[in-house]
Structure 1
Amino acid sequence: MIQVREYARLTTDERATPSLDCAVVKRETLEWVLKLASEWKGEEPLLLSDGYHVFKLGSYIGYLQSPDGEGIEILPKTNFGQDNPQQTRKILQRMLLAALNIRPRVAGPAELMRMNVPLHEWIFRQFLSELQVLVTRGLCFDYRRVDEESRFIRGQLQIQRQQRQSPARQHLFHISHDIYSPNRLENRLLKTALNYVLATCQNSENWRLANELSHRMAEIPLQAKPQRELRFWNNSKLMQIYNDVRPWCELILEKMNPNFQQGSHKGISLLFPMEQLFEKYVEVSLRSRIRRGCQLLSQASSQYLLEHTVGNSDKPQAMFLLKPDLLLRGSNGAQTLDTKWKLIEQTSWQTDKKYNIAQSDLYQMFAYGHKYQDGKGHMMLIYPKHLSFNQSLPAFHYSNTLTVWAVPFCLDSQQLVPGSWQEYFPNLYRQELLTGAT
Structure 2
Amino acid sequence: MAAVKHICEFGTIWNNREFYPEKPTDNFNEVYLDAKSFESLKNFVAENNDPSCEIEQAFSIHRRKGKDFIRVKNYVGVIETRQGTVIEILPKIHQPSTSNDFEQIRKSKSLLLKMLRTFRNSPFKSIDQAHIKTARLPVIEIFISVFLKEMEVLLKRGIKHFYSSVEENQKYLKGRLLFSQNLKSNLVHRERFYVNFDEFRADIPQNRILKTALVYLKRKSKLPRNVRQIISLIDLFDEVKICSNLEKDLQHLKGQNRLFNYYENALKWAKIFLQNESFTSYKGKNLNTAILFPMEVLFESYVASKLKQFQPRWEISVQDRGHYLLTDLNIFRKKFRLRPDLVIQTGCKTIVADTKWKMVNQHLSKNNYNISQADMYQLYAYGKKYQAKNGSVQLALIYPHCEDFFKPLKFRYEENLLIDAIPYDFENEASCMLFLNDLI
- TM-score (norm. length: structure 1): 0.81
Deviation, 1:122, is: 1.2
Instruction: Quote the residue 2:321 is aligned against.
Output: 300
SS at match of 1:222: coil
CA distance in structure 1 between the aligned counterparts of 2:171 and 2:251, rounded to whole angstroms? 40
CA 1:297–1:20 in 2, change beyond 3 Å: closer, same or farther? closer
Deviation, 1:204, is: 1.5
Instruction: Please list, as runs of the form range in 1=range in 2, the aligned pairs for 1:1-400 lying within 5 A after superposition.
Output: 1-12=4-15, 13-14=19-20, 18-38=26-46, 39-40=48-49, 41-42=53-54, 45-52=57-64, 53-80=68-95, 82=101, 83-99=103-119, 101-102=121-122, 107=126, 109-113=128-132, 114-148=134-168, 155=175, 170=191, 176-227=196-247, 229-233=249-253, 234-255=255-276, 262-290=283-311, 292=313, 294-300=315-321, 302-304=323-325, 314-315=330-331, 321-329=337-345, 331-332=347-348, 334-346=350-362, 348-349=363-364, 351-374=365-388, 377-390=393-406, 392-400=407-415
Deviation, 1:138, is: 0.8
Deviation by residue 1:318-351 (Cα, 9 ceiling, x = unmatched): 66554322223465464311001123234x15x5
Deviation, 1:64, is: 1.4
More deviation in 379-388 or 150-159? Answer: 150-159
Judge conservation of contact 1:384–1:408 (CA < 8 Å) in 2.
yes
CA 1:176–1:420 in 2, change beyond 3 Å: closer, same or farther? closer
CA 1:282–1:103 in 2, change beyond 3 Å: closer, same or farther? farther
Amino acid at match of 1:182: A
Judge conservation of contact 2:160–2:202 (CA < 8 Å) in 1.
yes
CA 1:169–1:10 in 2, change beyond 3 Å: closer, same or farther? same
CA distance in structure 2 between the aligned counterparts of 1:62 and 1:178, rounded to whole angstroms? 44
SS at match of 2:79: strand
CA distance in structure 1 between the aligned counterparts of 2:219 and 2:204, rounded to whole angstroms? 23
Amino acid at match of 1:239: F
CA distance in structure 1 between the aligned counterparts of 2:283 and 2:60, rounded to whole angstroms? 23
Judge conservation of contact 1:100–1:247 (CA < 8 Å) in 2.
no
Deviation by residue 1:369-413 (Cα, 9 ceiling, x = unmatched): 1223239621111112344434x4142222221111122224367
Judge conservation of contact 2:350–2:394 (CA < 8 Å) in 1.
no
CA 1:410–1:138 in 2, change beyond 3 Å: closer, same or farther? farther
CA 1:254–1:161 in 2, change beyond 3 Å: closer, same or farther? closer
* Number of equivalent positions: 413
Instruction: Quote the residue 1:433 is aligned against.
Output: none
Judge conservation of contact 1:369–1:376 (CA < 8 Å) in 2.
no
Instruction: Quote the residue 1:431 is aligned against.
Output: none
- TM-score (norm. length: structure 2): 0.81
Deviation, 1:166, is: 8.0
Q: Any gaps of 5 or more consecutive residues in structure 2?
A: none
Deviation, 1:253, is: 2.0
Q: Any gaps of 5 or more consecutive residues in structure 1?
A: 426-438
CA 1:363–1:116 in 2, change beyond 3 Å: closer, same or farther? same
CA 1:49–1:376 in 2, change beyond 3 Å: closer, same or farther? farther
CA distance in structure 1 between the aligned counterparts of 2:332 and 2:171, rounded to whole angstroms? 77
When the two chains are superposed, the root-mean-square deviation of aligned CA atoms in Å is 3.4
Amino acid at match of 2:292: L
Instruction: Name whichever structure is richer in helix by fraction.
Output: 2
Judge conservation of contact 1:149–1:175 (CA < 8 Å) in 2.
yes
Judge conservation of contact 1:10–1:22 (CA < 8 Å) in 2.
yes
